[in-house]
Amino acid sequence: MADNKGGNNKPKVGGFMNELWKELTKPPRWAHVQKPGSGNEKKEDGKKEEADASKKPRKRQPPSWWSWSQSDGVPRRKHRQRRPSRPDAHRATGSRARTKAAGSRKPTRKSSPVPISKSRGDVGSKAPEALSQIHSQIRRHGFAPNVLKQYGLTATKVEPFGPVLRLRTNQGLIALKKTHLSPKQIQFLNGAFHHLEGNQFTKFAPFLQTADGQPYGMVGGETYYATRWLRGQEVDFRSFPQLAMASRTLAEFHEASRGYAPSQRPPAIFDMVDRFADRREELIEWKQRAKQKRRPDGVDEFFLQHVDLYLGQCDRALAMLRRPEIRAQLLFEEEDPCLCHLDLTPYNMVFTHNRQVALIDLDFCTYGPRTLDLAHLMRRALQRQEWNEDVAWHCLVNYNALRMLNRAEYRIVLGLLTFPHRFWRIAYEHYDIGHDPHHLGYFQLCEAEEAKRQAFLARFARQIDRMG
């Protein structure tokens, strides 16, 4: 993880120790997972959230593996908490669920430009008592130690990083993840990784293979996969050099993925208009639910005060994406589609020790227009730098260095940036995942950036119009 160097406001010792004790004694996340929208979510103080006065409509299913990224640039509710500063930032090539073909392969590569970490002193077996203690630690985090036998791994140290365990093993540093992906989905990704390597793109962490030649292991009906641990830090979107490398890596990934055509292909996501129209309808649904609450809280009041403005932004974005030239462009791309990452966040891109940017967490990866990834990267970078216009052009210039965007693709980017992803995301977290009073602050941060965001969108639209 990136080092936390801001040290002007030091907490008192007692408060720090209390927080540390809470963190150490807090049960793992897997021990208290609740189904979204069950109506029984509890706050930390044990009090139940107030139920809506009206009967809630039937909930849609949680976002599937093939749905577009659910991380739209807003703080996560207990999903992405910052951890104490660590030297590395990495997660395996998987995601939350969000979380993170066929053919066997060797677990190591000789020509990979991404450094593979090896530990000197990790070889050899441990005493039975120490090994038992390691296995207990693995179980404590909700993982089955027996999966290591399928990979021929012997762990000597366990460190949790979000949904991933970093294991120091006899084969070096390994990232182990328990995933919601099915074996068929992992086989699709494994085949994609082989295809990328065949096209000289190696800026990612491929799956390790089990003794049976599979890119996954199964224990007790649960699926796991493992990758080498990539040493480095999460990409800093405030750094123009790192942002340039991230944009070029994304362009290289898109071009290297073309031509991958396995026998079983997942659904593509060229139906952007339908997907964003569904999100607009969700905002209307949440608006009705907030209105019908007997005792609306501050989050409901803020949401109701601003939702109509953002619904107008939805309409403008959908009007752009429904233009004939956009439909023609999407149909053209569907003939030779690339793979999209679909979850391009700073913690899913690693700035490695040899000064490259590698992609991780590819669980959402499927076929789609390359502008979907590019717009997501630009939006996250623009949010980090207060919608500075130079950020957008920096991304575009470096992405275009490999293959130029055409005018229709620029208009797709404009439409995607116009859609109020951040506002929708906070509302999704609040009304479909679980009520949290902190969402009011997130809504206020979202509203605070609107003036700069709209000014940028107006300038960007004028630049596109000048292209003729």
DSSP string computed for 289-321: HHHH-SS--HHHHHHHHHHHHHHHHHHHHHHHH
d(CA 320, CA 277): 12
Residues 215-272 have pLDDT tens digits of 999 999 999 999 999 999 999 999 999 999 999 999 999 999 999 999 888 899 999 9
**Average pLDDT, rounded, for the chain:** 81
d(CA 447, CA 444): 5
* Helix residue ranges, H only, 80-218: 128-140, 147-151, 183-198
d(CA 51, CA 292): 11
Tokens matching residue 207: 């799956």
Residues 65-120 have pLDDT tens digits of 333 344 443 444 444 444 444 444 444 444 443 443 334 344 444 444 444 444 44
223 DSSP β-pair partners: 179, 218
Query: Model pTM?
Result: 0.74
CA dist 132 → 30, 56, 135, 148, 196 (Å): 21, 48, 5, 13, 39
For each of the domains in the chain, give its residue range(s) and CATH number, in order of start.
Answer: 240-465 (3.90.1200.10)
d(CA 187, CA 179): 13
Strands (E) across 133-231 are located at 155-161, 164-169, 172-179, 217-219, 222-228
Q: Is 17 helix (H, G, I), strand (E, B) or coil?
A: helix
Which range has the top average pLDDT, 58-62, 163-167, 434-438? 163-167
Q: What is the pLDDT of residue 414?
A: 98
Judge whether residue 59 has pLDDT over 80. no
Judge whether residue 452 has pLDDT over 50. yes
Residues 303-326 have pLDDT tens digits of 999 999 999 999 999 999 999 999
Q: What is the pLDDT of residue 97?
A: 39
What integer is the mean pLDDT of 190-208? Answer: 96
